[in-house]
Amino acid sequence: MSEYIFGFIPSYGLMLALSFLVALWLVRRTAKKFNIPPFIIDDLAFYLMLGVIVGGRVLYAVFHWAQYENDILGIFRIWEGGMMFFGGFIGGFVCGVFYLKKKNISILQIADLIAPAIALGQFFTRIGCFLNGCCFGIPSTLPWAITFPKECVAGSSPIGDQALHPTQIYSSLFGLALFFFLHKRLGVPHRRGDIFALYLIFSGGFRFGIDFIRFYENRANFIINQIVALGLVVVGVVILIKNLKKKD
């Protein structure tokens, strides 16, 4: 693992960019089947990218203020790693809703289209987290536990001298599995919002569970993430229940 690929390309920044490009390609390809013009997806991608980067970075900086209190400009060096998934999700959702309402486009229909792409994006970005050494787990004696280099975030942490759960890899593989599941569901008849709801339920449920083996220096961060994860599950269940009550 290395924070830089070829010695000069930030691994996290590369995987973040790759996740956006692959997700955009996938959504544009899928949108054609639902007669949604490509320019709508391209414009939406800009708003989503803006929301994800700003939301993810701001929330990370807030919960890791000690890392930036003496280096404010470091907040803007996103290629060095340090994004909170929930912050990016909320930021992207808010910006996306703003754009779709402005264009009078069904939010749930588009949410269904991009849900598999979000899961696939998680596959790439969590690999970036692993290479960067952030978002790591608690000590483990399992044969696949990882001892991170001293120069990365995990290695320099209070538990960095021990083999740790590679929670980034767990999350990456989960994202890939969720992508295949949602992408397949998208190809069969469904009500608007069903795919997005399933994403919220599975993603929130997984995050709630894996947080118990992720390392948190601040207990408050753990509690907040747990609350948000459960909130996603609740929202997803509500959407499914409302859809079930709708008449065909």
- Rounded to whole angstroms, the Cα distance separating 110 from 76 reads 30
Contact 113, 34 (CB under 8 A): yes
Cβ neighbors of 127 (< 8 A, separation 6 or more) are 15, 168, 169, 172
Name the phi and psi angles at 133, rounded to 5. Answer: 85, 20
The answer to whether the beta carbons of residues 56 and 87 sit under 8 Å apart is yes
DSSP state of 4: E
Residues 6 or more apart whose CB falls under 8 angstroms from that of 191 comprise: 243, 246
Q: Is residue 5 classed as helix, strand or coil in its secondary structure?
A: strand
SS3 166: coil
Phi–psi pair at 158, nearest 5 degrees = -60, -20
CA distance 3 to 88: 21
CB neighbours of residue 62 within 10 Å: 13
Question: Is 126 assigned to a binding site?
Answer: yes
Annotated binding site: 126
